[in-house]
Structure 1
Amino acid sequence: MNLRRNTMSVKKIRQLIGDDGEYGWIANQLTQIAQMYQVYESAQNEIATKLENLDAEFELNYNHNPIHHIDGRMKDPQSLVGKIKKKNLSPNVTAVKNNIFDIAGLRVITNYIDDIYTVEKLLSQQDDVEVIKRKDYIEHPKASGYRSLHLVVRVPVFKAHDVESIPVEIQIRTIGMDMWASLEHELRYKTDVDRAEEFADNLVDNADALFAIEQNFQDIHHAL
Structure 2
Amino acid sequence: MKKIKTLDDVLGHIEDLRETIRFSDDLFPLVKDLFIFLKDMIPLLMEANISIKESTSRIPTATENIDNISEMTESSTNQVLDSIDTISGKLSALGEMIKKDSGAEEQTVLVDEISSMTNEMIFAFQFQDITTQKLEHTSRILKTVHDKFETLFKSFESMRMNSAMGSDVAKALEVEFQKQSIKEVENKEYFDEKTKDIMHHDTAVSQDDIDSLFK
Taking structure 1 as the reference length, the TM-score comes to 0.25
Larger radius of gyration: 2
Output the TM-score relative to the length of structure 2.
Answer: 0.25
Larger RCO, structures 1/2 (Cα 8 Å, 6+ apart): 2
